[in-house]
Structure 1
Amino acid sequence: MSVNRKNTIVAIIGGGFSGAALAVHLHRAVGGLGGVGIVVFEPRERLGAGLAYSTPEPANRINVPAGRMTLYPDDPDSFVRYLDSTNALTEDAAAVLADGQAYPQRKVFGAYVAAEIAPLLDAGTLQHKRSKVVHVARHGDGWELHTADGDSHFADIVVVATSHPPPALPRALVPLANHPKLVADVNADAALDDIAAGDRILIVGNGLTAADAFAALKRRGHHGSVVSLSRRGLRSRGHPAVPQEPYGDFADPPLRSASELLRRVREALRAAQASGVTWHGVLDAVRLQGRDIWRNLPLNERRRVVRWLRPFWDAHRFRIAPQVETLLDEAIVSGQLRIVAGSLVSAQADEEGSLHVDLRLRGQKNITQIDLDAIIVTTGPAHGGILKSQAFLSGLEDAGLLTLCPTGLGIRCDERSRAIDSLGKSVETLLIGGPLARGTFGELMGLPQVTEHAVYVAGEIAHSLASAAAERHGSLEPLESTSDR
Structure 2
Amino acid sequence: MAAVGDRSGRRIAIIGGGFSGSLLALHLLRRCRPEDRIYLVERNQNFGRGLAYTTGNPNHLLNVRAGNMSAFPDQPDHFVRWLQNLPADQRAGIGEPNTATLGASTFVPRRVYGNYIQELLGDKIWREGQGHNFFLLTDEAVALHRDGKGLSLELAVGRRYPVDHVVLAVGNFPPTASTPGYFGDPWSSTCFEGLAPDAPVLMLGTGLTFIDTVLSLQDRGHTGKIYALSRRGLLPRVHAAVPAPWQYELPPSGRNLVKLLREVRGIARIAESAGVGWRAAIDGLRPHTQRLWQEMSLPERARFLRHLRPWWDAHRHRAAPRVMARIEQAIGSGQVELLKGRIGDMARLDDTSLVTINLRGDNGRREVIVDRVIDCSGPRSDATRLDQKLIQHLLASGQVRPDPLRLGLDVDRHGNVIDAEGNATPDLHAIGPITKGTFWEIIAVPDLRIACAALAERLL
TM-score of the superposed pair, with normalisation by structure 1 = 0.87
The structure 1 segments of at least 4 consecutive aligned residues displaced by more than 4 Å after TM superposition are 94-100
CA contact (8 A) 1:13 1:159 kept: yes
Counterparts of residues 155-194 of structure 1 (less than 5 Å):
155-168=163-176, 177-179=178-180, 181-194=181-194
Shift of 1:373: 1.0
User: Is it true that 1:310 corresponds to 2:314 in the alignment?
Assistant: no
**In the aligned structure 1, how far is the partner of 2:387 from the partner of 2:312?**
26
- Residue in structure 1 matched with residue 203 of structure 2 by the alignment: 203
Matched letter for residue 127 of structure 1: F
**In the aligned structure 1, how far is the partner of 2:162 from the partner of 2:397?**
18
CA contact (8 A) 2:96 2:102 kept: no
- Residue in structure 1 matched with residue 321 of structure 2 by the alignment: 322
Shift of 1:79: 1.8
CA contact (8 A) 2:203 2:376 kept: yes
CA contact (8 A) 2:383 2:409 kept: no
The percent identity for this pair of structures is 32
Matched letter for residue 303 of structure 1: A
Counterparts of residues 37-52 of structure 1 (less than 5 Å):
37-52=37-52
User: Is it true that 1:114 corresponds to 2:118 in the alignment?
Assistant: yes
Matched letter for residue 179 of structure 2: N
Distance change >3 Å, CA 194–CA 134, structure 1 → 2: farther
Shift of 1:203: 0.6
What SS does the aligned partner of 1:143 have? strand
What SS does the aligned partner of 1:236 have? coil
Matched letter for residue 301 of structure 2: R
Distance change >3 Å, CA 391–CA 186, structure 1 → 2: same
**In the aligned structure 1, how far is the partner of 2:360 from the partner of 2:60?**
30
Shift of 1:120: 2.7
- Residue in structure 2 matched with residue 102 of structure 1 by the alignment: 106
- Residue in structure 2 matched with residue 412 of structure 1 by the alignment: 410
What SS does the aligned partner of 1:185 have? coil
- Residue in structure 1 matched with residue 136 of structure 2 by the alignment: 128
Matched letter for residue 339 of structure 2: V
Distance change >3 Å, CA 16–CA 250, structure 1 → 2: farther
2:445 paired residue among 430, 444, 447: 447
**In the aligned structure 2, how far is the partner of 1:74 from the partner of 1:99?**
21
**In the aligned structure 1, how far is the partner of 2:231 from the partner of 2:149?**
48
- Residue in structure 2 matched with residue 478 of structure 1 by the alignment: none
Counterparts of residues 246-395 of structure 1 (less than 5 Å):
246-248=246-248, 251-252=251-252, 254-350=253-349, 352-364=350-362, 366-385=364-383, 388-395=386-393
Distance change >3 Å, CA 311–CA 129, structure 1 → 2: same
CA contact (8 A) 1:186 1:377 kept: yes
Counterparts of residues 57-68 of structure 1 (less than 5 Å):
57-68=57-68
**In the aligned structure 2, how far is the partner of 1:219 from the partner of 1:82?**
28
User: Is it true that 1:13 corresponds to 2:11 in the alignment?
Assistant: no
Shift of 1:261: 1.4
Shift of 1:146: 2.4
Distance change >3 Å, CA 365–CA 330, structure 1 → 2: closer
User: Is it true that 1:422 corresponds to 2:424 in the alignment?
Assistant: no
Matched letter for residue 316 of structure 2: R
Distance change >3 Å, CA 66–CA 338, structure 1 → 2: same
Shift of 1:274: 2.0
- CA deviations 1:71-114 (Å, max 9, x no partner) are 11111222222222223221343799989643222111111100
Distance change >3 Å, CA 250–CA 306, structure 1 → 2: farther
**In the aligned structure 2, how far is the partner of 1:160 from the partner of 1:44?**
16
CA contact (8 A) 1:248 1:285 kept: yes
**In the aligned structure 1, how far is the partner of 2:384 from the partner of 2:114?**
24
**In the aligned structure 1, how far is the partner of 2:86 from the partner of 2:280?**
33
Matched letter for residue 421 of structure 1: D
Distance change >3 Å, CA 95–CA 141, structure 1 → 2: farther
- Residue in structure 2 matched with residue 145 of structure 1 by the alignment: 153
What SS does the aligned partner of 1:383 have? coil
**In the aligned structure 2, how far is the partner of 1:29 from the partner of 1:299?**
37
Shift of 1:36: 1.8
CA contact (8 A) 1:435 1:444 kept: yes
Distance change >3 Å, CA 51–CA 406, structure 1 → 2: same
**In the aligned structure 2, how far is the partner of 1:416 from the partner of 1:56?**
35
CA contact (8 A) 2:41 2:136 kept: yes
CA contact (8 A) 1:403 1:422 kept: yes
**In the aligned structure 1, how far is the partner of 2:161 from the partner of 2:97?**
43
- Residue in structure 2 matched with residue 480 of structure 1 by the alignment: none
- Aligned-pair RMSD on alpha carbons? 2.2
**In the aligned structure 2, how far is the partner of 1:36 from the partner of 1:315?**
43
- CA deviations 1:207-266 (Å, max 9, x no partner) are 0001000001010000000011111111011111331112545645x3312212111111
Distance change >3 Å, CA 94–CA 356, structure 1 → 2: farther
When structure 1 is superposed on structure 2, of 228-237 and 152-161 the one drifting more is 152-161
What SS does the aligned partner of 1:50 have? coil
Shift of 1:301: 1.2
When structure 1 is superposed on structure 2, of 133-142 and 388-397 the one drifting more is 133-142
**In the aligned structure 2, how far is the partner of 1:303 from the partner of 1:344?**
23
- Residue in structure 2 matched with residue 470 of structure 1 by the alignment: none
Matched letter for residue 120 of structure 1: K
Distance change >3 Å, CA 250–CA 257, structure 1 → 2: farther
CA contact (8 A) 1:47 1:117 kept: no
